[in-house]
């Protein structure tokens, strides 16, 4: 594993720990599955995920 990949893995892990999945994966998914639909930019994606993590019904954190 190259150092760049290792770093990317750590960054992805840290971001998912606070509920933000990979934007790259989102772009790749939209390009592959829904090329006709509008794609959120990175800011909109970040806000969407923030709202989904804390604003919705799955705000439970463990004791």
Partner 1 sequence: MTIAGRIGWIALALVGAAALAVIATARGEAVNAVWVVVAAVSVYLIAYRFYALYLAKVVVGIDPARPTPAVRHPDGLDFVPTDRRVLFGHHFAAIAGAGPLVGPVLAAQIGYLPGMLWLLAGVVLAGAVQDFMVLFLSMRRDGRSLGELIRMEMGPVPGTIALVGAFTIMVIILAVLALIVVRALAGSPWGMFTVVATIPLALMMGVYSRWIRPGRIGEVSLLGLVGLILAILYGQDVAASASWAPWFTYTPVQLCWILIGYGAVASLLPVWLLLAPRDYLSTFLKIGAIAALAIGILVVAPPLRMPALTRFVDGTGPVWSGSLFPFLFITIACGAVSGFHALIASGTTPKLIASEGDARFIGYGAMLMESFVAIMALVAASVIDPGVYFTMNSPAAVVGTDAASAASAVTAMGFPITADTIAATAKDVGEATIISRAGGAPTLAVGMAQIFSQLVGGRAMMAFWYHFAILFEALFILTAVDAGTRAGRFMLQDLIGLAVPSFRNATSFVPGLIGTGLCVAAWGFFLYQGVTDPLGGVNTLWPLFGISNQMLAAVALVLATVVLFRMKRERYAWVTILPASWLVLCTVTASLMKLFSSNPAVGFLAHAARFSDAIARGQTLAPAKSLAEMGRVVMNDRIDAALCALFLAVVVSIIGYGIRTCVIARRLDHPSASEIPALAVAAE
Residue ranges in contact with partner 1 by CB under 8 A? 9, 11-23, 25-30, 33, 42-43, 45-63
Give the nearest distance from C-beta 1 to partner 1 in angstroms: 11
- Distance (Å, whole) CA 22 – CA 38: 18
Comparing CB distances to partner 1, the nearer of 4 and 55 is 55
Shortest CA distance to 23 belongs to which of 44, 53, 1? 44
Q: Nearest distance from residue 33's CB to partner 1, in Å?
A: 7
State both tokens at 25: 């994966």
- Residue 61: partners with Cβ closer than 8 Å, 6 or more residues away: none
Q: How far is the CB of 5 from partner 1 (least distance, A)?
A: 11
């Amino acid at each position: 594993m190259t150092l760049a990949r290792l770093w990317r893995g750590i960054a992805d892990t840290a971001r998912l720990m606070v509920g933000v999945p990979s934007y790259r994966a989102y772009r790749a998914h939209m390009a592959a599955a829904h090329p006709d639909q509008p794609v959120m930019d990175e800011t909109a994606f970040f806000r969407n995920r923030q709202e989904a993590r804390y604003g919705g019904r799955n705000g439970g954190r463990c004791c």
